[in-house]
Amino acid sequence: MQLTGKIALVTGAGAGLGRAVALRYALEGAQVVAVSLMASELEEVRATAERQGLAITTAPCDVSDAAAVDAVARRVLDRFGRLDILVNNAAIIFVKPIEETSVEEWDRLLATNLRGPFLFCRAFVPAMKARRGGVIINVSSQSGVKGFIGEAAYCPSKFGLEGLTFTLALELAPWDIRVIATHPGIGMRTPMSMTTYDEEARKTWQDPAVIAPGFVYMAAEGNGALSGHRYNAYELAQRAEHGEDI
């Protein structure tokens, strides 16, 4: 119960990694706000949490919509008075050559993958500053540090997210707000990977739940995840689960 009493918000929490992190945070004692564009997915998460006796509330939201994000932030702060943990996980991908990538696809992907985290950080940082604490975890990718064929939009979005992470780590340090980048570290079975993994890659993918303990480590007070660093979530999860020093 490393997150008892904490208030956490996870975007892209209707499925995949976001769902696994939201449920694990609740299992660790946090009050969790699960955000997703898909109301049907959120209903499944809510029902799962209810069966397990976990404290999860849901908030349908287009993370690229500034007014919608601000409305979610007001709802969270009005109800809980603060936010301790923000996980910017929502993302989409298109894999195609640049000449086949439409301007509309580029705009939509950057709006979700980079504008969304910017909007949620902007919405909650003032409350974190007021309390002089908090942690922001931005879910990046290997595509945030190297290029991949067919990812002319996705890679720039993740490179940008890494830049946002390290900039905010410096900017928010005086208020003891940690800002961390993380990448999954392994192949996962998610709605995104269902569209991008071939049959060979699918042989080794794992349930996102195995990565979730790494997110607990990054979020928990007293653990060693440092602001302005980039972490392999699967490696953290494996070491934490085996009681190893990190």
Active site residues: 154
Instruction: Residue 211: name the closest of 239, 178, 192, 246 by CA.
Output: 239
**Edge-to-edge order in the sheet of strand 7-11:** 56-60, 31-36, 7-11, 85-88, 134-139, 177-183, 230-232
DSSP string of 196-216, one letter each residue: H--HHHHTS-B-GGGTHHHHH
Round to whole Å and give the CA distance between 103 and 217: 39
Instruction: Residue 1: name the closest of 246, 216, 209 by CA.
Output: 216
The tokens describing 139, both together, are 């879910």
Cβ atoms of residues 84 and 136 within 8 Å: no
Round to whole Å and give the CA distance between 18 and 138: 12
Cβ atoms of residues 131 and 146 within 8 Å: no
